[in-house]
Structure 1
Amino acid sequence: MRTRRTPLAYYLVALILGIAGGLTISEISMSSRTDLMGAPWLVSLLLFILGVMILLMAIQVHRYAKGERKEMDSRFAVNTLVMSKSLGIACAALLGWYGSQALVSMGHSSAPYYAAVMRECLAASAVCLIDVVIGAVGEWLCQLPPDEGPENPKKRNSAKRRLPDAAQKESMDR
């Protein structure tokens, strides 16, 4: 299976969609006097813990790719790569969501409700930014070294060295 790094445009699209959603929720919340804004502290804590766990898993995959670890389940490596990709994209969208709510709340920060929303959303935005970086780094850590196929010059030279002397002389005569 061949995978590619997540393009920067995907992160930007997720961020823009998150900003649009956050602004929409902010407008609905302000116009209808409903409590839709903010981020519970538990969400920020869980996102941070999830990011750290995925980073630790990606480090294990990287150790295997470098040869420092002897065995690894291929499903674990693939799942770690998928989780790193999804963490980066999802947290980019959440960064836009919480960041836009924090910006809207700054205009009304003299009110206690909006001051609390601003603090919660700034904390959630910081955690989401950290998780976007962790997702991108996790993708990089899950890369495998380049495949040295049979046409690689290093492989050809080592194959010649492994031939018996008579076979080498015969192949050189041709």
Structure 2
Amino acid sequence: MTPTRWTTPVGVALVTAVVGFALVGPLEMLGLTLTRLPWTAVAAVLLLAVVVLVLGWPVRRWNRGHRDRPLDPLRAARTAVLGQASALAGAALLGWYLGQVVHLLPDVAYPLPRQSVVALLVAAGAAALLLVAGLVVERWCRLPDDEDEDPPAGAASSR
């Protein structure tokens, strides 16, 4: 598995922000409005970020030399995939919420849009925390470099 480059979450966030911004206007013109963002959505995203960090912690400890218990390689691989998926989901949510914020900014002087903007910014902050937690856990799951290991047979030398 290749580590997530910083450009991938940024690209996902930008694309979903554009999609979010582009969809809100036509939906409002059709008479449909997005429902108010419940606080449970923010709580769920924050809980997910904490769960990702908790699941990644044993892998981090094992990589740092605390090997009092064996680490199942499949668990470590699944944790790395969970970190990557969490980072991408956090980026998508971040873009979605920020796209809606940009759409609502012209009306922020009115109370209802202002409340929605505040709720969306809080949700965007929670999504950013999920993004960071996913990237951190993915980094924790990297295997340390084996410096004293010989290169595999047939591998090109670096001379």
What's the TM-score bracket when you normalise by the shorter of the two chains? Answer: 0.7 to 0.9
- Partner of 2:112, secondary structure, is helix
Task: Quote the Cα distance in structure 2 between the aligned partners of 1:59 and 1:128.
Answer: 20
Question: How far is 1:84 from its partner?
Answer: 0.5
Structure 2: state its 5+ residue gaps: 152-159
Aligned twin of 1:84: 83
Aligned to 2:102: 103
Q: 2 CA distance for matches of 1:98 and 1:5? A: 26
Pair 75,150 (structure 1): closer, same or farther in 2 beyond 3 Å = closer
The structure having more radius of gyration, on CA atoms, is 1
Instruction: Tell me which of the two structures has the higher relative contact order, counting C-alpha pairs closer than 8 angstroms and 6 or more residues apart.
Output: 2
Match of residue 54 from structure 2: 56
Give the 5 Å matches for 1:1-174.
Answer: 3-36=1-34, 38-69=36-67, 70-148=69-147, 150-151=149-150
- 1:60-111 deviation per Cα after TM superposition (whole angstroms, max 9, x unaligned): 1011122213212222211110010011111111111101111221211233
Distance 1:21 1:38, change over 3 A: farther
Aligned residues: 150
Q: Over the residues paired in the alignment, what is the CA RMSD in angstroms? A: 1.8
Q: 8 Å contact 1:38–1:118 — kept in the other structure?
A: no
Distance 1:37 1:97, change over 3 A: farther
Task: Classify the secondary structure of the residue corresponding to 1:133.
Answer: helix
Q: Percent identity of the aligned residues? A: 25
TM-score by length of 1: 0.78
Query: In structure 2, what residue type is equivalent to 1:80?
Result: T
Structure (1/2) with the larger helix percentage: 1
Which stretches in structure 1 are left out of the alignment for 5+ residues?
A: 153-174
TM-score (ref. length: structure 2): 0.85
